[in-house]
Amino acid sequence: MTPVLELDHVSHSFGARVALDGFSIAVHPGEVVAMIGFNGAGKTTAMRVLAGRLRPGSGTPKLFSHDPRDLPEHAARRFGHLVDAPLAHPDLTVTENIRSAARLHGLDRTAADQATTTAVGHLALEPWADARSRTLSQGNRQRLGIACATVHSPEAVVLDEPTSALDPRGVVVVRDLIRELAARGAAILVSSHHLDEVSRMADRIVVVHDGRVVGELEPGGTDLERRFFDVVHDADTHSHPEPAP
């Protein structure tokens, strides 16, 4: 099966700082893949490349088999992402923002209205439906960003730390939404710092370290944290082997 989201040996540096160093990942239809790694490991940079926000120094990014920076409109309409700032205007209300996102992704007026009502309900945003987005709390702004990224039922989704500001109920809401999109066949890439959460949400967990994918963790089990540190330690040992005595 052809991957929907793919980075093939992608490298990128910001000046002297290497952010991605031969980063490879592939996400297939119906699959939720979570990236986990230290601060500065390269997760956001990888997602920015996939979202077409950054042209990498080398390697091949692909979204629906196209260059993400040169995506045909029919493919762009099937993609949703929340990387960097949400696609929300501060002076528009929650409902207006979500409806605009739906229209931007090609839904006609009637379909956009229906999808907006559904998204407001899915993200439990009803009490704030008529609030301007600049007045929202951080967590509700994050819910709005996720609603805007997913209102059009995309087949490829990239979400950078989608639950970082959410309360426990919000975490469940977003997890259910992600699982539902995947059940309908979407390929989903998320990043997170919460091992327990990704363990419940993801089909695969990839460990990102020093700009590369250095291993995978089987979701579930109780010793995920230890396994994560083992993978990172192994990667460090192999990239900086101890000198022979």
Ligand X SMILES: Nc1ncnc2c1ncn2[C@@H]1O[C@H](COP(=O)(O)OP(=O)(O)OP(=O)(O)O)[C@@H](O)[C@H]1O
Contact between 95 and 46 under an 8 Å Cβ cutoff? The reply is no
Q: Which DSSP letter does residue 224 get?
A: H
C-beta closer to ligand X: residue 97 or 192: 192
| The residue type at 106 | G
Cα 29 to Cα 188: distance, rounded to the nearest angstrom: 8
User: Nearest distance from residue 41's CB to ligand X, in Å?
Assistant: 4
Q: How far is the CB of 130 from ligand X (least distance, A)?
A: 33
CA atoms within 13 A on the CB side of 139: 13
User: Closest CB to ligand X among 81 and 152?
Assistant: 81
Cβ proximity to ligand X: between 37 and 162 the closer is 37
Q: What is the closest distance, in whole angstroms, from the C-beta atom of residue 123 to ligand X in the complex?
A: 23
Give least dist CB 114 to ligand X, A.
35
- How do 79-82 and 156-159 pair as beta strands? parallel
Query: Residue 21 and residue 158: Cα distance in Å, rounded?
Result: 20
- How much helix, strand and coil, in percent to the nearest 5, is found in the chain? 40, 25, 35
The token pair at 207 is 């460990």
CB atoms closer than 10 angstroms to residue 89: 14
Using CA atoms, how far apart are residues 204 and 219, in angstroms rounded to an integer?
7
CB nearer to ligand X: pick between 69 and 77: 69
CB of 181 to ligand X, least distance (A): 22
Show the tokens assigned to 215: 């291993």
- 201 or 207: CB nearest ligand X: 207
In angstroms, give the least distance from the CB of 220 to ligand X.
23
Nearest CB to ligand X, comparing residues 23 and 64: 23
3-state secondary structure of 158: strand
Nearer to ligand X, 31 or 161 (CB): 161
Cα–Cα distances (Å) from 10 to 19, 58, 136, in that order, read: 10, 6, 37
Shortest reach from residue 11's CB to ligand X, in Å: 12
Binding site for ligand X (CB under 6 A): 14, 17, 19, 37, 39-45
The single-letter DSSP state of residue 184 is T
